[in-house]
Amino acid sequence: MDILTLSLFSSTLVVATPLILAAMGGMFSHQVGVFNFTLEGVMLFGSFFSVAFTILTGNIWLGILLAGLACIVLSAMWSWVVVDMGADPIISALGFMLLAQGGTIFLLNAMLGQTGGAFSPLQLDFIRLPFIDGLPVLGPLLSGHTILTYLSWLTLPLFVFILYGTPFGLALRAVGEKPEAAAAAGINVRLMRYCAIAITAFCCALAGAQLSLGLLGMYTDNMTAGRGIIAFAAVVFGRHRPLQVFLVALFFGFAAALTDRLQGFGLPSELLNTLPYLLTVIVLAISGWRLLSRRNGMQAPPPL
Amino acid sequence: MSADATTGGPAAAPPANGFVARAWQSIQMPLIATLAGLLLTTVLILSIGKSPLDVYAALLRGALGSVFGISSTLRWATPLILAGVAVTIGFKAGLFNAGLSGQIYLGGLVGSLLGFTIDLPAGLHPAVAILGGGVAGGFWALIPALLRRYLGASEIVTSLMLWYVAIGISDFLVRQFFRDPTSAAFLMSVKVAPDAVLPSFFPVGNVSVMLFVSIAVAIVAHYLMQRSRLGYEVRLTGANPLYAFYSGLPTGRRLILAFCVSGFLAGMIGAAESIGINQRFVSQFDPGFGFDGFLVALLAGGNIAGCIPAGIFLAILKAGGTEIERTLGVSKSIIWILQGSIILVVSAYRLRDQINALFKRRTGP
């Protein structure tokens, strides 16, 4: 029983890609102080639209780009409700999730005339990295992934630079830490929040595209199956810091890959599939992290 | 942000005088949200070249236009009212039971297990099965409640995660030990004993005595929450936890109690669905009662008795959804879209303020 093989780590990178993309994107919303629970819904829209637009335009890159734009527009609806209309972020995000589940079924029928799912004529290529491919261990591990997997690794340095190295990132963080002070300093708080949610939406669209165009080459109803919620847990557990969020998402990806692997050894799949969720609960429990409880004072009362 | 967000649905407006004024104020947000949802679905229906009026007429016809329609509406109202009450009880304590579906699922498992493993007289058997399902749901809700109480972990996320865990455990147990050997395609358990089945009292459809149980639970829970000492303590814990805590209330225990009662009611839903409708445990039997429960609770605006009309409203949508798919070929996912957009907008209280301001400007001071 070789469980901890090289291919396990390689498939960890594959499975972790959508989690990393969605979590790193979701981090932006949390950085501006918006509790973004829409990751699941936007990801589902993303996996649908990337297939739908790839079919309609016949070009996979255009398909993914249009899917990203569609997700930005749709999640702007949520931004408006939360940023401008004072809606509860979690309640409205659950509404958005239901809207995504119903909306993708409806649009699948309306745009493509299909039910249940749709095959994409095109799929993302597995890229062989020129130099690394030939190396003994690193080759099979790092080479041969889709461009979105490589992009998911690039999000780490890129987002660290954006957040901590640019005036835009400084403004984002200021809005998250003290909106009043940021406003007094001349930063447009609303605009920053809209921007951050749009970045989240675009990243989630890419995460969805990896699921449909990268892994399966098709879209099926409700194919995200709670991955967005796991990504959300990664943002929360990683305390919306880039490196921590990245590592937590990678770890959740490892748990999911391990689940797939153990299934191959005849262990019951139903129980194994609960592992990532169970792990998230345990992780939230042991972190005992108070910031997560949104209502001040609703956390465990002070010990007497 | 969101530290000031209320979970009790629309944010509290300044209290109005008189019953009519208060009632009007409490239905404003649900009304605005429903209109917004209808606007979106109307646009979508127009975009596929169908007539919205036909669709809405078919919806009402399907839900209320025949004995079968009415029985179908009442069949859906039964779990929806109970789900709304379960969510609202959480709201009252300042908690959001987002994992209702998990508690429902486990309740369904235990309810049907009690239905085919034990032997009891006809009247008692369904009651025992439903209460047993309730206990299972309450136990499943205890986990997030304890994590919240002692570790400060968000009950929203943990209970939602435990939903997936409940599905895994239940499906595993049924596949391993209780699977109906004649069912090849679907994962389902053996049938419950004939004594345990909840009979329908309607000539057609599946309306069982559970309907009256749901309504009675809503009324009793409303009364207890408003009038009893325990209900007052739960409400105080939800409204102002620090004040409640420093007044000497055992707030932690009240939180856990409210969450477990919420889970208990959810478990009852699962058990009643299993022994009443399916007469066995069927994998994925829950058509999304968790979400429906949020919607009912949000429409009811934190009022437990208000879950009765809100549950019937949603039951009409559900019962009519089948009709529009059957007669007009419009996917009933349009009902999900409607539900989703209502939930999306229903807590957006500033929208109401802006509409009110607009209205005041028009009609003068």
What pLDDT digit, counting tens, does each position of A1-25 carry? 466 677 888 888 888 999 999 999 9
DSSP A126: P
- Cβ contacts (< 8 Å) between A298 and chain B: which residues? 94-95, 241
Task: Using CB atoms, pick whichever of B47, B48, B152 lies closest to residue A288.
Answer: B152
- Mean pLDDT in residue range A158-173: 93
Could you tell me the residue range of the domain that residue B244 belongs to? 79-363
The neighbour count for residue A128, using CB atoms within 10 Å, is 12
pLDDT band at A275, cuts 50/70/90? confident
**Cα(A48)–Cα(A218) distance, integer angstroms:** 9
Interface contact A87-B176, CB threshold 8 A: no
pLDDT band at A266, cuts 50/70/90? confident
Determine contact: B164 vs chain A, CB below 8 A.
yes
Determine contact: A266 vs chain B, CB below 8 A.
no
ipTM for the assembly: 0.85
Residue B322 lies in a domain: yes
What pLDDT digit, counting tens, does each position of A46-98 carry? 999 999 999 999 899 999 999 999 999 999 999 999 999 888 888 899 899 99
**How wide is the angle at C-alpha B246 spanned by C-alphas B243 and B252, nearest 5°?**
85
Q: How far is B314 from chain A (nearest CA, A)?
A: 15
Interface contact A103-B175, CB threshold 8 A: no
Just give the CATH number of A6-125+137-292: 1.10.3470
- Top residue of A111, A235, A274 to mutate, by most chain B CBs within 10 Å, is A274
Residue A304: predicted pLDDT: 26
For residue B201, what is the domain's CATH number? 1.10.3470
Residue B301 lies in a domain: yes
What pLDDT digit, counting tens, does each position of A181-232 carry? 998 988 999 999 999 999 999 999 999 999 999 888 889 988 888 889 889 8
Residue B5: predicted pLDDT: 38
- Mean pLDDT in residue range A110-134: 82
Three-state SS string across chain B, please?
Answer: CCCCCCCCCCCCCCCCCCHHHHHHHHHHHHHHHHHHHHHHHHHHHHHCCCCHHHHHHHHHHHHHCCHHHHHHHHHHHHHHHHHHHHHHHHHHCCCCCCCHHHHHHHHHHHHHHHHHHCCCCCCHHHHHHHHHHHHHHHHHHHHHHHHHHHHCCCHHHHHHHHHHHHHHHHHHHHHHHHECCCCCCCCEECCCCHHHCCCECCCCCCCECHHHHHHHHHHHHHHHHHHCHHHHHHHHHHHCHHHHHHCCCCHHHHHHHHHHHHHHHHHHHHHHHHHHHHCCCECCCCCCHHHHHHHHHHHHCCCCCCHHHHHHHHHHHHHHHHHHHHHHCCCCHHHHHHHHHHHHHHCCHHHHHHHHHHHHHHHCC
Task: Using CB atoms, pick whichever of B1, B149, B346 lies closest to residue A34.
Answer: B1
- Top residue of B40, B97, B146, B151 to mutate, by most chain A CBs within 10 Å, is B151
**Cα(A215)–Cα(A208) distance, integer angstroms:** 10
**Cα(B177)–Cα(B168) distance, integer angstroms:** 14
Residue A2: predicted pLDDT: 63
Percent of chain A with pLDDT over 70: 93
Residue B13 lies in a domain: no
Has residue A303 got a pLDDT over 50?
no
**Cα(A109)–Cα(A115) distance, integer angstroms:** 6
Residue A290: predicted pLDDT: 46
- Cβ contacts (< 8 Å) between B165 and chain A: which residues? 274, 277-278, 281
Residue closest to B141 by CA, chosen among B16, B324, B291, B268: B268
- Cβ contacts (< 8 Å) between B147 and chain A: which residues? 281, 284-285
Interface contact B168-A290, CB threshold 8 A: no
CB A146, CB A125: distance < 8 Å: yes
Q: How many domains does chain B have?
A: 1
Residue A195: predicted pLDDT: 94
**Cα(A182)–Cα(B192) distance, integer angstroms:** 63
Residue B141 lies in a domain: yes
Residue B353 lies in a domain: yes
Q: How far is B295 from chain A (nearest CA, A)?
A: 9
Has residue A167 got a pLDDT over 60?
yes
Has residue A292 got a pLDDT over 80?
no
Mean of all residue pLDDT scores within chain A: 86
Residue A55: predicted pLDDT: 93
Low-confidence ranges of chain B (pLDDT < 50): 1-12
pTM (2 d.p.): 0.86
What pLDDT digit, counting tens, does each position of B13-47 carry? 555 667 788 778 778 888 889 999 999 999 999 98
Residue B161 lies in a domain: yes
Residue B58 lies in a domain: no
CB B158, CB B259: distance < 8 Å: no
Residue B160: predicted pLDDT: 87
Inter-chain contacts counted by CB atoms under 8 A, chains A and B: 212
Task: Using CB atoms, pick whichever of B47, B154, B162 lies closest to residue A293.
Answer: B154
- Cβ contacts (< 8 Å) between B152 and chain A: which residues? 288-290, 292-293, 299-300
Residue B132 lies in a domain: yes
Determine contact: B239 vs chain A, CB below 8 A.
no
